[in-house]
Amino acid sequence: MPASSHPFRQYLSLILLFAPALGLVLFLGLFGSHPRLQLGGPLWFPWQFWLMGLAGIIATIGGVLDWRFHRDPLKLQLSKKERDAEAAALGLGGVPMFLLMCSATLSEQPNQWLIPILVVLIYTVVAICYDEFVFHLRRCGKTETMFHRMLVFGNGTAWLAWMHFIYYR
């Protein structure tokens, strides 16, 4: 079986879509009582975490709908290059960003994490722009554009809420 048609490769971006939500639940489960978090229970979470959750849900729904949209044989199928570009944005941008944000959240000196976070943010934005401008600019209709906006703006809002929690609480 060629690498491009391997079932795992077709599901990689879908798996990576759920990584932030599952990672955040795991992070809060492991470190929820850490002095830097002082969360207590879900009802007592700061507003930033509620916004992260809501925006993350919107982003995940948009990502899943977009992933499903491309599995319809009547719709445009993603090329290997496009699938790789999306996986690079999610895996090489999103995963390191999540780990850096967790580290900054728990750090007594979160400012030391600011430059690495911004470097990964820039990479992630460039990777998303590459995907949007190279593969989607002229091709996407209203439905697919809406899914992309849900994904990008949902994740962006969740990131900003987390940054606010880390640096301005």
Radius of gyration of the chain (CA): 17
Question: Which pLDDT does position 121 carry in this prediction?
Answer: 95
Q: Supply the pLDDT for residue 71.
A: 75
Supply the range of the domain harboring residue 44: 3-168
For residue 133, what are the CA distances in angstroms to 65, 72, 119?
Answer: 20, 23, 21
Q: Which of 72, 63, 66, 61 is closest to 94 using CA atoms?
A: 63
Least confident of 72-76, 95-99, 121-125, 146-150: 72-76
Q: Taking a C-beta distance cutoff of 8 angstroms, is the pair 70, 140 a contact? A: no
Query: 2: which 2 tokens?
Result: 């060629």
Please write the tens of the pLDDT for every residue from 112-145.
999 999 999 999 999 888 887 887 777 778 888 8
Residue 56 to residue 52: CA distance in whole angstroms: 6
Asked if 154 contacts 60 with a C-beta cutoff of 8 angstroms, the reply is yes
pLDDT over 80 (residue 83): no
- Side-chain-side CA neighbours of residue 119 (13 Å): 7
What would the two tokens of residue 69 be?
Answer: 């949209």
Task: Give 1's DSSP letter.
Answer: -
Which pair of tokens denotes residue 98?
A: 């999540």
**Domain total in the chain:** 1
Q: Which two tokens stand for residue 115?
A: 């430059």
Given a cut of 70, whether residue 151 has pLDDT beyond it is yes
Q: CA of 64: how far to CAs of 20, 25, 33, 89, 114, in Å?
A: 14, 19, 32, 16, 30
For residue range 1-45, list pLDDT tens digits in order: 444 456 666 677 788 788 888 999 999 889 988 888 877 777 778
Cα-Cα-Cα-Cα dihedral sign, residues 125, 130, 136, 137: positive
